[in-house]
Amino acid sequence: MSNHIVVLTGAGISAESGIPTFRDSGGLWEDHDIESVATPEGWARNPERVLKFYNARRRQLKTVTPNAAHQALVELESRYRVDVITQNVDDLHERAGSTNVMHLHGELTKVRSERFPDLVYSCHEDINMGDQCEKGHQLRPHVVWFGEDVPMLEPAAQLTEVADIILVIGSSMQVYPAAGLVSFAREDASVFYVDQFPTLNYELQKLRNLTIVNDRATVGVPQVVSQLLS
């Protein structure tokens, strides 16, 4: 019996809750140079600007709620072991009720020491210059920036390679290394790709058991979940 599902989610699932997608037209990133707010170099040049950017995202996160796609994934836990691996830094999966969530690119609701990355703290308010870790160093967003390692990539790959079923939701499948995770899928694993504008990257094209659901997450995910629970 298929009993282990790994869910890979991207910006598309959060977009329907009102979180602008990365570099989308009209999106939150549009008025910002990515180099200035999402790289170690940008942080080194102007940490105050970076903190303001993420403070705005953290405040905006409080105004949105999980949607039907997030909620449908929780239903799967009644029958399957479900591991959610998300590229998103929001906490909508957790707020919906998913119990096993791995964040590849960090979490907006956490901060860490700029000098000691293992010193991580919960944070739901603004961070300002002068806010320090217990060892006296400035706090920074607990987010993986361009040019930084993705420490959760190996654990994510290990989960993916033992899954019976893989759901890919709301991802362009263009942002690596996350987009390459499906290459770890077992040959006999069933893979569902739910996206309004699906992109078949090299890894997806090689899959034998791929089902594409060409719809937005709030429509396609409940359909797939209903199918899996029946």
Which active-site residues does the annotation give? 105
DSSP class per residue in the chain? ---EEEEEE-HHHHHTTTPPPTT-TTSTTTTS-HHHHSSHHHHHH-HHHHHHHHHHHHHHHTT----HHHHHHHHGGGTSEEEEEES--S-HHHHHT-S-EEETTEEEEEEEESS-TT-EEE--S---TT-B-TTS-BEEEEEPPTTS--TTHHHHHHHHTT-SEEEEES--S-STTGGGGGGGS-TT-EEEEE-SS----HHHHT-SSEEEE-S-HHHHHHHHHHHHH-
